[in-house]
Structure 1
Amino acid sequence: KGFLGHPESYWDRVIVSGNRVIDQRGPGKAYNILTGEPILRRDPITGKDVPWEFTKSGHHCNYAIASPHLVTFRAASAGFTDVESGNTARLQGFRSGCRNSLIPANGVLNAPNFAHGCVCGYSLFTSLAFTHVPRAEMWSYSALKAPETSVKRLGVNLGAPGDRMSSDGTLWLDYPSVGGASPDVRITAKGPSRTFRQHSSLVTARDHDWVASSGVTGLQTLTIRLDKNAKTPRAYTVRLHFCEPENLKAGQRVFDVRLGGKSVLEEFDVVATTGVRRKAIVREFKKVSATTELTIDLVARTGIPILNGVEIVAED
């Protein structure tokens, strides 16, 4: 029968892009123009198919534009949604115009200054053009819901300003959540912890420098829910990310690490291992058994412990 109209109320116009009909609300949904069926995407946390949606927060006074890779719009500042992932990001410091003015074309995102006469205060009042720089910091938020089934793949980016999808398909969630709408995975932290963050360009890392650039000091226990209905244990691969941000010497920050109550690192010293500060190191542990949740304990020996990020991948 093809697309017969949006099944709910929608704001103004819809977008036709390829075989998709996209509404302009937030969260917005997409439908197959030939069948009218909702377009699905893979939930990066559970691996299940869920409806494709995008969301935008903040004042928006213009219409969205769709391209094969981006949906662009105003979301307080300029914003866009990655069509493949459904994640929304902001281009801070300037606003797009009150008409369609974020125009993707041949690998360049053009932003002509269509904000004349607007009283909204933004630092940059000029025309701009952007190209993709993979190493640039870019943080996102999304319309993804809390997992209703077991977690298959998840990253927890401690102290980060938003979410980010890695090239290998892991969605890294900011904790504490400060960057906008995000899947509500239950995470609890205990201990006199303090978050820190520096720019990722200051960190030496093989990859995931944007994980190593932030973290938590003083953390004692981090608990991550994996499946509230699980009855039997499951095996996971757990990767712990560490990077020393302070000007400490070897021996000044030493601690033990336990996963699910089992010791995996004893007298661990980040600086002694890397040789310098601001150099990332990842420790991987396979066949970590967990049922409903994973508990990470950091036990201080000298100074206070540090942890930057946790990646969890189900093995079966």
Structure 2
Amino acid sequence: MTVTNTGSAPLEVRISEQKRTSDGGHETADLPWLTLTGAAATGTVTLAAGKSTTVTATADNAGVEPGVLVGDVLVASNAGKGETQLKPVRLATSAYWKGVDVGGSGHVGADGFVWSPDQELGRRPWGYVGGKARATKADIAGTKEDALFRTQRTGDTFSYVSRNAPAGTYRIGLDFAEIEKVKAGKRAFDVLVDGKPVLHDHDVQATVGALTADMNTVTVEHAGVDLKIELLREKGEDAPILNALRVQEDPRL
């Protein structure tokens, strides 16, 4: 955050971490998951007219239990009206997350998210059951992550299983791209999570067209134990497809 003195008199600024108290108030604290870096975070800074100071807030969830941590950053000054401001800070730590480069060898997204190489379940903690991988070299519209959408898994019926996924509310990303020449209405399929339908008669070609990213997010309640995502072929239709899978427990929900 950056504080600028827009007035004509010198401005004194101090920025500090605050924890929330049980009575709804705040008190100065050293939050172990939050670090403030900058001159105003270590002492009072005096700004001349037109000058600014910047403090960077960095959150780190290393060693943090899954859930949501909340705190505030206090901006204190001698500005008179509005001399103190509280800026809320939240850190959400997921109990489970996994991204899969379906049919591929792994991918790191532009946002730094790591998509693991596809793998068969076997005795592993997660993986696919059934289906076969295929790929294209064509460009994929509607995304900057072409490599992620060039590979896919297909089959009459196939699934992905995450063993012993903790109970909670999950956001599941189901990403598709039609890399074959298929007419609209010829590949419509269902997706089930823990036996419950989340996408019905989904037709990628009809939705976005060929060689185009079709990104979907569904929210489900998972009771615990194995989380299973199934893709089912409908009678008379071509086999379902999946290009990328993202499974994340979201403590904010």
Q: Is the shorter-chain TM-score for this pair beyond 0.5, marking a shared fold? A: yes
Residues 39-61 of structure 1: per-residue CA shift (max 9 Å, x gap): xxxxxxxx656xxxxxxxxxxxx
Q: Which runs of 4+ in 1 moved over 3 A?
A: none
Larger Rg: 2
> Of residues 233, 242, 251 in structure 2, which corresponds to 1:307?
242
CA deviations 1:149-177 (Å, max 9, x no partner) are: x85321111111x2222233432111137
Structure 1 pair 222–48 and aligned structure 2 pair: CA distance change class (3 A): farther
Q: What SS does structure 2 have at the residue aligned with 1:277? A: coil
Among residues 194, 209, 214, which one is paired with 1:260 in the alignment?
194
Tell me, yes or no, if structure 1 residue 208 matches structure 2 residue 145.
yes
For the Cα contact (< 8 Å) 1:241–1:309, is it kept in 2? yes
Partner Cα distance (1:166, 1:219) in 2: 29
2:192 and 2:199 in contact (8 A); partners too: yes
Larger proportion of strand: 2
Compared CA separation, residues 293 and 205, structure 1 to 2 (3 A):
farther
User: Structure 1's 188 and 311: CA in aligned 2 closer, same or farther, altered over 3 A?
Assistant: same
1:213: how far off? 0.9
Which one of 99, 107, 111 corresponds to residue 164 of structure 1? 107
CA-based RMSD: 2.3
Q: Deviations over 1:185-205 (max 9, x none)?
A: 421313xx2211123x51113
**Structure 1 portions without partners, runs of 5+:** 1-46, 50-149, 178-183
Secondary structure in 1 matching 2:248: strand
Greater relative contact order, per chain length (Cα 8 Å cut-off, separation 6+) = 2
1:35-86, Cα deviation, whole Å (9 max, x unpaired): xxxxxxxxxxxx656xxxxxxxxxxxxxxxxxxxxxxxxxxxxxxxxxxxxx
The TM-score normalised by the length of structure 1 is 0.45
- Give, as a single letter, the amino acid of the residue that structure 2 aligns with 1:314: E
Letter in 2 for 1:209: D
1:89-144 per-position Cα deviation (integer Å, ceiling 9, x unaligned): xxxxxxxxxxxxxxxxxxxxxxxxxxxxxxxxxxxxxxxxxxxxxxxxxxxxxxxx
Other-structure match for 2:218: 285
Structure 2 counterpart of 1:208, which letter? Answer: E
User: Equivalents in 2 of 1:277, 1:151: separation in Å?
Assistant: 36
Change (3 A) 1:252 1:289: same
Give aligned pairs, total. 156
Give identity over the alignment, percent.
25
Q: Which runs of 5+ in 2 are unaligned?
A: 1-60, 64-93
Amino acid at match of 2:101: N
8 Å Cα contact 1:250-1:269 kept in structure 2: yes
Taking structure 2 as the reference length, the TM-score comes to: 0.55
1:155 correspondence with 2:90: no
